[in-house]
């Protein structure tokens, strides 16, 4: 269950992760969809990464806590890892450095 939730969260978040920084900086929601090809690339990268990380994290949390809920929480956290990394990379690319 953790791997499935991780893949869903990672893939869905990966579509919008690159556009978060420009949308926040310019205060324009339309910039979330400004780079569709890059969003598709991030979708294909963060989906499998969320699957792998969620699949590892979910059962480990399930052993310590309530198995079903903890696996879902582990999957969500595992899916957010690649999304967060891509969003931070996007923020780095948009800001002046």
Q: What is the pLDDT of residues 35-82, one digit of tens each?
A: 999 999 999 999 999 999 999 999 999 899 888 899 999 999 999 999
Reported as half-sphere exposure (CB side, CA atoms, 13 A), residue 88 has a value of 6
Question: Is the confidence at residue 34, as pLDDT, over 80?
Answer: yes
pLDDT tier at 96, thresholds 50, 70, 90: confident
* Angle in degrees, 0-180, between the axes of helices 36-64 and 67-94, rounded to the nearest 10: 150
What's the pTM? 0.90
Q: Are 91 and 19 in contact (CB under 8 A)?
A: no
């Amino acid at each position: 269950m953790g791997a499935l939730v991780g893949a869903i969260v990672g893939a869905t978040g990966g579509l919008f992760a690159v556009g978060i920084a420009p949308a926040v900086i310019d205060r324009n929601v339309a910039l979330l969809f400004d780079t569709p090809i890059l969003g598709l690339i991030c979708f294909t990268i963060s989906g499998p990464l969320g699957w792998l990380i969620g699949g590892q994290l979910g059962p480990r949390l399930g052993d310590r806590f309530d198995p079903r809920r903890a696996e879902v929480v582990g999957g969500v956290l595992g899916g957010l890892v690649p999304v967060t990394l891509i969003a931070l990379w996007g923020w780095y690319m948009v800001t002046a450095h």
